[in-house]
Amino acid sequence: MNPELEQILSRAQTLYEDVDYKAVAEWKSCAPGRRAIGYMPIYVPRELIHAAGMLPVGIFGGGDRLEIIRGDAYFQSYICHIPRSTIELAISGRLDMLDGMLFPSICDVIRNLSGMWTMLFPGRYVRYVDLPQNYDARVGGEFWRRELTAMRADMARLAGGEISDQNLRNSIRIYNQNRRAIRELYQARSESPWLFPIAQVYAVLRAGSVLPPEEHTTMVRRYLEVASQGSTLPEDRSRVVLTGMFCEQPPLALLITLERAGCWIVDDDLLLGFRWFTGEVPEGGDAIENLAQAYLTQSVATASCYAPDGQRGRWLVDAVRQNHADGVIFCAPSFCDPALLEQPMLVAALEREHIPHTQFKYSEDTGQFAVIREQAGTFSDSIRLWSEA
């Protein structure tokens, strides 16, 4: 393996495996007064945190790398896994380095988790980020501008200073660069998935949850450049789109299993918040207005956001077409309301277009993959052997 590639992947893998968030503690220790703000999936305006000079830290649960000792005592058996491991991270002291926590409006579980946080950790900053479900600029836009303004004031207060317009515009520019780099990586992966194995892409992407965006953009760009020069030859596999994984993340081994079962993953909704906007947020003018408008008009389609046009599943069909995919794997966490309630609508959209699909569920700490491998392998084989194409 190219030494630079090895170095990038080693760094990304170390960050991925670190459930003690040492990188965040290190970042904070580099200068006095540095602060870090945690956020949960899917989308929060990280620009506001960054513009205040603080580090946005993505909290995506403990995956399969954390033993749940006390977290299970807070949740009934029929609730998904990410809140358990997140509570475990917090009550075990692993999130003590955070100076605040943002909970976006993804589902009732994450919403109620914000209230649990308030009760469990009195005195710590907690904010429920109520994303607008009305996309009229005069109505939902006005509500969201107000929320953004309030959040800006909160971030400034936590950082102990003001957030200047110039700083905010600069942060928008930096996150535009980050999103652009990730989009390019996804595009390259779609074109030559054999050069960008899912385990590598995921680890590099996930590093963005703890690295400052500038550093993460550099990592993504270096990875893109070095991995593009790889000499791996393409194999005859099925090209699939993965969907349903926008919140609780699957264990890396599950993603690797899918590839080993004969699938090239050409698109997915993993860590979707890092690619939330489909285009650039304008970098000049009124920064709050730009962020608000971008949310209303450039957000990706996903289960947690209302679809006013009723075209549920259109985006998935488009993803299949644009990435020349052969089929779709629905891969949702057990008990994930948004993904599982959405699924019948997506299935209907795919079936109208005669796009093959299969489905299974996982938990972030799933450890057995034999059945998934068999199912994904059969799906891939069926596409390659019997599809009309």
Partner 1 sequence: MTKDNVQESTVQKERSMVLQKQLIGDYYDSLGRAHEEGKRVVSTFVPGNLTELLRSFDLLPILPEINALQSGMRKLSANFIAEAEKHGHSEDVCTYVKCDIGMLKLGNVGPTGVKLPNPDLLLLSYTGCFTFLKWFELLRQEYQCPVAMLHVPYLANGRIEPHHVDYVVQQLRTEVIPKLEQVSGRRYDEARLSEMLALSAKAEDDFVWVLESAKNEPSPIDAYFGGVYYIGPIFTAFRGTSEGVEYYRVLREEIAERIKLGLGPVTPEGTMERQRYRLVVEGPPNWTSFREFWKMFYDEGAVIVASSYTKVGGLYDRGFRHDPNRPLESLAEYCLGCYTNLGLPARVDLLERYIREYRADGFMINSVKSCNSFSVGQLLMLRQLEQRTGVPGGFIESDLVDPRYFSPANIKNRIESYLQMLEQRRTAGVTA
The DSSP 8-state label assigned to residue 73 in this structure reads: G
Instruction: Specify the residue, 105 or 177, whose C-beta has the smaller distance to partner 1.
Output: 105
Q: Which two tokens stand for residue 144?
A: 């969201």
We find the least distance from the C-beta atom of residue 115 to partner 1, in angstroms, to be 3
Instruction: Specify the residue, 208 or 333, whose C-beta has the smaller distance to partner 1.
Output: 333
The answer to the question of residue 363 lying near partner 1 (CB under 8 A) is no
Among 31, 119, 370, 371, binds partner 1 (CB under 8 A): 119
Instruction: Specify the residue, 289 or 337, whose C-beta has the smaller distance to partner 1.
Output: 337
Q: Helix, strand, or coil here: 36?
A: strand
**Site residues (CB under 8 A) for partner 1, limited to 320-359:** 334-338, 340-345, 347-348
**What CA–CA distance (Å, rounded) separates 170 from 243?**
33
Dihedral over Cα of 92, 129, 206, 373: its sign: positive
Among 6, 115, 184, 297, binds partner 1 (CB under 8 A): 115
Q: Which two tokens stand for residue 151?
A: 């959040």
Count of residues of this chain found to bind partner 1 when the rule CB under 8 A is applied: 54
Instruction: Specify the residue, 324 or 352, whose C-beta has the smaller distance to partner 1.
Output: 352
Q: Quick one: which segment of 10-18, 140-148, 210-218, 267-275 binds partner 1 (CB under 8 A)?
A: 140-148
Does residue 272 contact residue 302 with C-beta atoms inside 8 Å?
yes
The answer to the question of residue 78 lying near partner 1 (CB under 8 A) is yes
Residue type for position 30: C
- Alpha carbon 379 to chain centroid, angstroms: 26
Residue-wise burial string across 258-296, b where 16 or more C-beta atoms lie within 10 A, e elsewhere: bbebbbbbbbbbbbbbbbbbeebbbeeeebbebbbbbbb
Q: Which residues bind partner 1 (CB under 8 A)?
A: 73-76, 78-79, 83, 105, 107-109, 111-116, 118-120, 127-128, 130, 132-134, 136, 138-140, 142-143, 146, 303-304, 306-308, 310, 312, 334-338, 340-345, 347-348, 361
